[in-house]
């Protein structure tokens, strides 16, 4: 983007060149008009603009105006970047920095250091990147250059966004949008670009509805300018939002419009990205042949500009498209280089995602040995990521929890206000009763009776509302089962009474925790629709209630996960309970309309206290974690089965850490006795 000049700088530059330069005022105006024409061209055809910029810069005399040379270099850097030539763009940026230092232009030097912050971001160094931006902000303190301040705010937003600090990113993005009103040139284009960035941020924040609103607002503004480059970016954000909303036909239309605009603007890097996104859309909709065709187009385009991230992204899409067609060997020819690159870069998040997809590809092809191999590798990588990101994840969850709590507090306050309003109405009714009784005893008595009935009905309604509120606060709205909150409250009470209960039963009747997950639930949603998925959840809940004792607690843990808490369950009754639950779910299919949907579950179960281990060493939360690991073992070993931890075969000081570190290995070492209960055979 070209740098805007202030009036004072404009006057100083003119005075200087009128005194010492052979250039005339007419020459300067002609050069500025030429640059503005190229800027407009860059919005329509980047390659043509790049060619003209290179010619323009080569024709600039050594004594050309500093600001003009600076503006030409900035436009040249942006054009190289849009063309996918990052190395040449970086080279031009270095030339800008050296030019600004030679002219002692401290503000431009500060702005160019924003590139250093982006390099720190790309290296995963969040705090140093923000510290670098803070240095730039200190250098720009008191600046009146709206364009430079806008660059700084946009950089803050991009770096906070890269590290999932969405609240801060949104604040800086909105400030950048506000600064566009202070620009003196190309104000509308700048505003559209900020709206485009804001739409992209909302998309990352998993708010596709807001993304569409902002993108549509920007598209209305874009009708005022002739910029296929802008249209391409806006249509791509629009398409990704529609894809998240599963409006796939509209999404494909938006992607095609974005691709047409990128081709019109001659932006090969953006073309490769859009083609990869279209291929991914076809993969989502299981159109593997189309996905392969489009992914190969993306690969060809990416190889043409030698953009490595785009090349490997396209190779991954080609591989998964081939895998979807059952061409596993050909698929791995494309996927193995992707795996090698992710390992070389140390990008465990991408590696975990690709390995997981390959595992699912092998599973879909019924090559279970290879699927298990990749699933185990994915689990290993996921465990490493979990340990590395544990503190960050906990902080994010705490922040989300606090936000949820604030929302609940607001809702409770609103309900309290409703109750207070009702109390005020009751008070007024009682005053009316007293007044009427004093005026006419007989008539007052009649009115008092009538009003008393009304007050009673109001109080009964209030009592009913309060009971409903209490019910819904501890129940899942879909299944009617207890929810996670009610279980956490119960565990809190249990923890307070654990010493008393231990002395009372002496461990002869421990509690039982059984966590379950519906097998292939995503397949149910994809094949029969989300309404059928909801019907399956309701029926599973009904069968679980019928399979357990009245004293047992059955709850929906979240999504397709359920939990049974069976207090005071004798050891000899534990495995029959689990077997009864497995059969109640899997013995008969769930009937939804005219469809018979086979449903099975995988489960993990454990006693509490576990194997005589003090609850200070293995409390309910750790027991849940072990049961969840057992559930995962059921998943990776074929589903439709329950893994149970019966007892430790080694001192708990030795066995528990091994179980937490590598569950499968602890079983192989004989540190724990495990029981496996197979579910009923189904046609699935």
DSSP for 19-55 reads: HH-S--HHHHHHHHHHHHHHHHHHTT-HHHHHHHHHH
Q: Residue 503 has what pLDDT?
A: 45
Closest by alpha carbon to 68, among 56, 78, 79, 77?
Answer: 56
Q: Residue 28 has what pLDDT?
A: 56
Sheet containing strand 672-678, edge to edge, reads 553-558, 561-566, 511-518, 601-608, 641-648, 672-678
How far is residue 213's CA from residue 198's CA, in Å, rounded to a whole number?
11
The residue behind tokens 């931890």 is 645
Length of the chain: 684
Peptide bond into 646 cis (omega under 30): no
Residue 184 has φ and ψ, to the nearest 5°, of: -100, -15
Residue 558 has φ and ψ, to the nearest 5°, of: 150, 135
Contacts 24+ apart (CB under 8 A), 453-459: 454/429, 455/426, 455/429, 455/430, 458/422, 458/425, 458/426, 458/429, 459/426
- Residue 605: inside a domain: yes
Catalytic, out of 271, 560, 621, 660 = 560
CATH number of the domain that residue 616 is part of: 3.30.70.270
How far is residue 120's CA from residue 611's CA, in Å, rounded to a whole number?
50
Q: What is the pTM of this model?
A: 0.47
Which two tokens mark 344? 């070389």
Q: Helix (H, G, I), strand (E, B), or coil: what is residue 184?
A: coil
Beta-carbon contacts of 554 under 8 Å, excluding residues fewer than 6 positions away, are: 481, 482, 541, 544, 545, 548, 562, 563, 564
How far is residue 491's CA from residue 501's CA, in Å, rounded to a whole number?
13
Last residue of a domain, one of 104, 119, 136: 104
- Residue 209: inside a domain: no
Closest by alpha carbon to 34, among 57, 18, 15, 8?
Answer: 57
- Residue 500: inside a domain: yes
- What's the sign of the alpha-carbon dihedral 384, 386, 387, 389? positive
- What's the sign of the alpha-carbon dihedral 304, 309, 315, 320? negative
Which two tokens mark 60? 């600039």
Q: Residue 553 has what pLDDT?
A: 93
Q: What is the mean pLDDT of each run of 10 residues along the chain (684 residues)?
A: 35 34 53 74 73 80 79 81 79 81 80 85 86 89 85 90 86 90 83 89 89 89 82 88 91 91 85 91 90 91 87 90 90 89 77 84 86 85 65 46 58 72 78 81 73 68 60 82 91 76 61 95 94 95 94 93 94 92 95 93 95 90 93 94 94 91 91 94 67
Q: Helix (H, G, I), strand (E, B), or coil: what is residue 683?
A: coil
Last residue of a domain, one of 86, 104, 122: 104
How far is residue 520's CA from residue 601's CA, in Å, rounded to a whole number?
9
Which two tokens mark 610? 């576990």
Which two tokens mark 526? 């994809």
Provide the number of structural domains found in the chain.
Answer: 2
Q: Residue 51 has what pLDDT?
A: 81
User: Is residue 290 a contact partner of residue 320, using CB atoms and an 8 Å limit?
Assistant: no
Tell me the β-bridge partners of 642: 603, 677
Closest by alpha carbon to 603, among 574, 632, 642?
Answer: 642
- Residue 72: inside a domain: yes
- Residue 71: inside a domain: yes
Beta-carbon contacts of 290 under 8 Å, excluding residues fewer than 6 positions away, are: 282
Domain ranges, residue 509: 484-678
Closest by alpha carbon to 403, among 208, 581, 205, 592?
Answer: 205
Q: Which helix (H) or strand (E) holds 205?
A: none
Concerning whether 560 is annotated as a catalytic residue, the answer is yes
- Residue 578: inside a domain: yes
- DSSP code at position 646: E
- Residue 593: inside a domain: yes
Q: Helix (H, G, I), strand (E, B), or coil: what is residue 535?
A: helix
Q: Residue 386 has what pLDDT?
A: 61
List Cα–Cα distances, 599 to 214, 269, 541, 558, 579, in angstroms: 42, 46, 12, 18, 15
How far is residue 270's CA from residue 278's CA, in Å, rounded to a whole number?
12
Neighbours of 11 (CB within 10 A): 11
Q: Residue 117 has what pLDDT?
A: 87
Last residue of a domain, one of 88, 104, 120: 104
Q: Are strands 641-648 and 601-608 parallel, antiparallel or unpaired?
A: parallel
- Residue 192: inside a domain: no
């Amino acid at each position: 983007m070209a740098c805007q000049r202030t009036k004072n700088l404009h006057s100083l530059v003119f005075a200087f060149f009128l005194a010492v330069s052979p250039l005339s005022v007419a020459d300067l105006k002609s050069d500025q008009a030429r640059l503005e024409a190229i800027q407009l061209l860059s919005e329509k055809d980047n390659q043509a603009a790049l060619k003209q910029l290179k010619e323009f810069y080569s024709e600039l005399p050594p004594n050309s105006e500093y600001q003009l040379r600076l503006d030409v270099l900035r436009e040249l850097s942006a054009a190289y970047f849009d063309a996918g030539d990052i190395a040449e763009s970086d080279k031009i940026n270095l030339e800008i920095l050296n030019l600004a230092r030679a002219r002692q232009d401290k503000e431009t030097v500060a702005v160019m250091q924003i590139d250093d912050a982006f390099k720190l971001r790309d290296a995963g160094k969040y705090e140093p990147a923000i510290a670098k931006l803070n240095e730039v902000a200190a250098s720009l303190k008191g600046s009146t250059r709206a364009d430079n301040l806008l660059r700084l705010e946009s950089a803050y937003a991009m770096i906070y966004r890269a590290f999932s600090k969405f609240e801060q990113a949104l604040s800086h993005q909105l400030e950048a949008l506000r600064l566009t009103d202070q620009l003196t040139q190309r104000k509308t284009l700048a505003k559209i670009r900020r709206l485009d960035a804001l739409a992209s941020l909302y998309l990352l924040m998993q708010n596709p509805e807001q993304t569409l609103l902002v993108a549509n607002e920007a598209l209305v503004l874009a009708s005022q300018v002739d910029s296929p480059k802008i249209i391409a970016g806006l249509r791509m954000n629009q398409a990704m939002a529609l894809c998240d909303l599963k409006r796939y036909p509209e999404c494909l239309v938006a992607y095609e419009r974005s691709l047409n605009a990128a081709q019109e603007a001659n932006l090969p890097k953006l073309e490769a990205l859009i083609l990869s996104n279209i291929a991914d859309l076809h993969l989502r909709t299981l159109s593997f042949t189309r996905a392969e065709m489009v992914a190969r187009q993306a690969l060809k385009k990416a190889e043409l500009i030698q953009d490595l991230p785009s090349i490997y992204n396209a190779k991954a899409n080609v591989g998964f498209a081939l895998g979807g067609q059952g061409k596993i060997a050909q698929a791995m020819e494309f996927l193995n280089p992707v795996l090698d690159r992710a390992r070389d870069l140390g990008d465990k998040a991408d590696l975990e995602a690709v390995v997981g997809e390959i595992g699912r590809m092998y599973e879909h092809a019924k090559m279970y040995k290879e699927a298990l191999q990749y699933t185990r590798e994915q689990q290993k990588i996921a465990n490493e990521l979990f340990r590395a990101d544990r503190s960050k994840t906990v902080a994010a969850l705490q922040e989300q929890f606090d936000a949820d709590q604030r929302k609940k507090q607001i809702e409770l306050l609103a309900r309290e206000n409703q109750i207070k309003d009702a109390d005020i109405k009751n008070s007024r009714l009682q005053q009316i009763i007293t007044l009427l009784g004093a005026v006419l005893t007989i008539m007052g008595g009649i009115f008092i009776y009538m009003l008393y009935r009304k007050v009673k009905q109001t109080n009964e309604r209030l009592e009913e509302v309060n009971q409903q509120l209490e019910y819904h606060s501890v129940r899942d709205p879909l299944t009617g089962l207890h929810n996670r909150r009610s279980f956490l409250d119960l565990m809190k009470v249990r923890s307070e009474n654990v010493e008393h209960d231990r002395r009372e039963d002496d461990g002869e009747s421990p509690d039982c925790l059984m966590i379950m997950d519906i097998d292939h639930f995503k397949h149910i949603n994809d094949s029969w629709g989300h309404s059928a998925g909801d019907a399956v959840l309701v029926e599973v809940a009904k069968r679980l209630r019928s399979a357990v004792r009245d004293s047992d607690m059955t709850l929906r843990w979240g999504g397709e996960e359920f939990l049974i808490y069976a207090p005071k369950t004798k050891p000899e009754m534990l495995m029959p309970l689990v077997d009864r639950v497995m059969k109640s779910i899997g013995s008969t299919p769930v009937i939804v309309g005219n469809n018979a949907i086979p449903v099975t579950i995988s489960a993990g179960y454990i006693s509490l206290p576990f194997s005589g281990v003090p609850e200070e060493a293995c409390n309910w939360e750790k027991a849940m974690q072990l049961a969840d690991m057992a559930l995962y073992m059921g998943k990776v070993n074929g589903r439709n089965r329950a893994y149970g931890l019966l007892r430790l075969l080694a001192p708990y000081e030795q066995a528990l850490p091994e179980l937490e570190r590598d569950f499968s290995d602890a079983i192989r070492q004989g540190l724990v006795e495990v029981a496996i209960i197979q579910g009923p055979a189904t046609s699935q």
